Amino acid sequence: MKIRRISIQRFKSLKKVLMENIGDLIILIGANGSGKSNLLEALTLFFNELDFETTERSLGSLDNYFWFDRDDKQPIEFEVLIEFSKDEIENMLPEGSKEAYQIEDKSEVIFNRAIKGPANSALWGVTSIKLNVVAPPRKLKSIETNETEGDQEPTQTPPPTPAQTESNDLLAAISPNLLQKLKTRFIYIPSTRNASADFSGFQRRPSIVSNNILNELRSLAQNIGEYEKMIGLLDQVAKTSRTVQDVRLVGSEFTIREQGSRMQLPFALGGSGHQELIALEYRLLAERDCFFGIEEPELHSHPELVRGFLRFLKEICEDKQVFVTTHSTAFVDAVDMENVWITRKQDGATIFHMIQESSDLKMLLYELGHRPSDLFFPNAIIFVEGTSDKIAYSIWSEKLKFNFPQRGISFIPIMGKTKGRYHLEVWIEAANNTNLPFFVLLDKDAEAEAKALPKKYRLVRDKNLFTLKKGDLEEYYPDKKLISALTNIYNLQLAKDEKKDEEKEIVRSPRCENIEKLLAEKLRYAPQGKWKTHVAKMVAGSMDAGEIDDEIRAILERINSELGLEGY
């Protein structure tokens, strides 16, 4: 069973959230306070209170903070679509009735529930439960005995009822087992914080894992009948972390031995990341037929341990479904992009955006050395041509006191190497999917590509789409500083009688072509643009704000203004 669609309205910051085509491993990323945990809490509440009652029941007095903007005049609404396999549906049918239905490979049950205010006397509201994608029941033959003639005459049952009635009949048949299968089966594992107990330095350090989980681990290690489960846990932990050598019970103490040590340490004295890892993997392996919501599993872990845990999650998600909230780029960069959901606040409400799979985007990310997190984590994106543009614009934004990189505004180079030059549509589609503000800042020779963009995308000339009037970015470098950078970086020896001519050649347009030609002659190989990043760093770094070209200054000022950052 897997959750495939979630619609939640008016729960905390979830004013109106719709998530569809949900995968098996869901990564929710976003800033602190963006509402990631509110989704996990909403699902926990929904499954904990789930029932098939036909009348409303009291929830007692609730905090009105459960409602978006504390407005309890309208109900909090939940719709959850859960997909079941054919075997799962058949296993929920009462004995003796399995042959009465022909069930498709996949069936969907849609639950609609609501919490009705006012908050001080809230009600768990009844709306609907619906079963979809189930084939009509088979026509069964009933056998009646004709005692007078001594033979049997088969008679067919009445014609089949309409499809919805048939679905309702099946839903009624599986309801008792369905409720038992689902109720309380969304398991929310909050972030494991550091232990809050006072620690003087002369006491044993308290474990970051709850006493309940520690007691369960002790019980598992003591119980001979659970030996296979304990071995399974140890095997998984060893796969995830090569530094955990052993976990066992010594007397009444649950202990851990880490790499390089012969000593079994009390569990609380092991590394915090290892404590959290073992507790999480234990819970994920111990529970069956459920959904998990895990909050910030990377909190105490080194990136290598995070990646190992992610591999474990991918394995178990073949028969489980896991929602993970995270701030870790390790999670984002290692999962399929269609399983990543961006969480953001907009006008006080949480919004979720699914990152669609794109083979072109994947190719570009790896080709250009980007990671998915480069696209997903910034507050805004400025697409530029190459790495040298990124370096120069970043430095200039700092010189002009805009400080874009420090404020989470990323410059992303989009120059391609193998499949055409710009791939602008792929990049802009990706930015649209993230719902981020974005800008496109290109050289003059990208004019043709730039002209086609406003027709399809939300791009406006001189607002979020800019092309340089002079040509390449190198045309905007001060002459003397460009010459100085090239001669210093490459130790160019310019002959005295040719020096002025060569300097003139460096700064004459088109500069990039002339510089390439000069360097090829002096260095005896073709640098093919590799010089640009070194020169950009040296030239832009040596410039003061007054030396930045007015056109460049105006573009960066406009971006700053469009982002509403003038008073920063």
Per-residue pLDDT tens over the stretch 208-246: 888 899 899 999 988 888 888 899 999 999 889 888 888
Give the C-alpha distances (Å, rounded to integers) separating 566 from 194, 383, 520, 561, 563.
40, 21, 44, 6, 8
Q: What percent of the chain has pLDDT over 90?
A: 37
Question: What's the pLDDT at 138?
Answer: 45
Task: Give me the mean pLDDT over the 368-380 stretch.
Answer: 71
pLDDT: which is higher, 39 or 462 = 39
Question: What's the pLDDT at 202?
Answer: 66
Instruction: Tell whether the model's pLDDT for residue 141 goes beyond 50.
Output: no
pLDDT: which is higher, 96 or 500 = 96
Question: What's the pLDDT at 262?
Answer: 86
Tokens 């995270």 belong to residue:
326
β-strands 409-413, 380-384 pairing: parallel
Res. 142 pLDDT band, cuts 50 70 90: very low
Question: What's the pLDDT at 549?
Answer: 95
Task: Give me the mean pLDDT over the 274-298 stretch.
Answer: 92
Task: Give me the mean pLDDT over the 240-267 stretch.
Answer: 88
Instruction: Tell whether the model's pLDDT for residue 386 goes beyond 60.
Output: yes
pLDDT single digits (tens) 121-138: 999 987 788 887 444 444
β-strands 349-354, 409-413 pairing: unpaired
Q: Which amino acid, 443?
A: D
User: Residue 57 is encoded by which pair of tokens?
Assistant: 């029941």
Question: What's the pLDDT at 101?
Answer: 82
- Residues 248 and 258: their CA atoms lie apart, in Å, by 12
pLDDT: which is higher, 366 or 17 = 17
pLDDT single digits (tens) 176-198: 899 999 999 999 999 876 555 56
Instruction: Tell whether the model's pLDDT for residue 559 goes beyond 90.
Output: yes
Question: What's the pLDDT at 372?
Answer: 67
CB 103 within 8 Å of CB 90? yes
Strands (E), 133-178: 141-146, 151-156
β-strands 25-30, 340-346 pairing: parallel
Strands (E), 302-435: 321-326, 340-346, 349-354, 380-384, 409-413
Give the C-alpha distances (Å, rounded to integers) separating 389 from 85, 155, 326, 402, 462.
52, 82, 31, 16, 18
Question: What's the pLDDT at 150?
Answer: 42
Instruction: Tell whether the model's pLDDT for residue 145 goes beyond 50.
Output: no
What angle, rounded to 10 degrees, do the helices at 227-240 and 303-316 form?
Answer: 130
Tokens 């189930």 belong to residue:
134
pLDDT: which is higher, 532 or 424 = 532
Question: Taking Cα atoms as reference points, which of 436, 438, 518, 443 lies closest to residue 483?
Answer: 518
pLDDT single digits (tens) 513-527: 888 888 888 777 667
Question: What's the pLDDT at 156?
Answer: 47
What is the chain's mean pLDDT, rounded? Answer: 82
Domain regions of the chain by residue span? 358-473+551-562, 479-542
Question: What's the pLDDT at 197?
Answer: 53
- Residues 254 and 268: their CA atoms lie apart, in Å, by 9
Give the C-alpha distances (Å, rounded to integers) separating 228 from 49, 217, 236.
34, 14, 12
Q: Which amino acid, 407?
A: R
Tokens 């394995």 belong to residue:
315
Task: Give me the mean pLDDT over the 258-268 stretch.
Answer: 87
Other C-beta atoms closer than 10 Å to the C-beta of 33 total 12
β-strands 2-11, 76-85 pairing: antiparallel
Instruction: State the DSSP H helix or E strand holding residue 330, giving kind and residue range, or none if neither.
Output: helix 329-334
Give the C-alpha distances (Å, rounded to integers) separating 303 from 299, 306, 327, 357, 436.
10, 5, 12, 24, 26
Question: What's the pLDDT at 29?
Answer: 84
Task: Give me the mean pLDDT over the 297-305 stretch.
Answer: 85
pLDDT: which is higher, 160 or 124 = 124
pLDDT: which is higher, 567 or 63 = 63
Q: Which amino acid, 120?
A: N
Question: What's the pLDDT at 206?
Answer: 81
- Residues 131 and 450: their CA atoms lie apart, in Å, by 49
CATH class of 358-473+551-562: alpha beta
Question: Taking Cα atoms as reference points, which of 113, 39, 41 lies closest to residue 77?
Answer: 113
* Alpha-helical regions (H) of 247-404: 272-286, 303-316, 329-334, 359-367, 372-376, 387-399
Res. 162 pLDDT band, cuts 50 70 90: very low
- Residues 132 and 112: their CA atoms lie apart, in Å, by 14
Task: Give me the mean pLDDT over the 442-463 stretch.
Answer: 78
Instruction: Tell whether the model's pLDDT for residue 158 goes beyond 60.
Output: no
User: Residue 38 is encoded by which pair of tokens?
Assistant: 């509110």
- Least confident residue range of 100-109, 248-257, 315-324, 420-429: 420-429
Task: Give me the mean pLDDT over the 358-381 stretch.
Answer: 65
Question: What's the pLDDT at 67?
Answer: 97
Question: What's the pLDDT at 97?
Answer: 82
Res. 165 pLDDT band, cuts 50 70 90: low
Question: What's the pLDDT at 494?
Answer: 64
Task: Give me the mean pLDDT over the 116-124 stretch.
Answer: 94
Question: What's the pLDDT at 399?
Answer: 94
User: Residue 516 is encoded by which pair of tokens?
Assistant: 């390439």
pLDDT: which is higher, 214 or 303 = 214
Question: What's the pLDDT at 417?
Answer: 42
* Alpha-helical regions (H) of 93-143: none
Instruction: Tell whether the model's pLDDT for residue 451 goes beyond 80.
Output: no
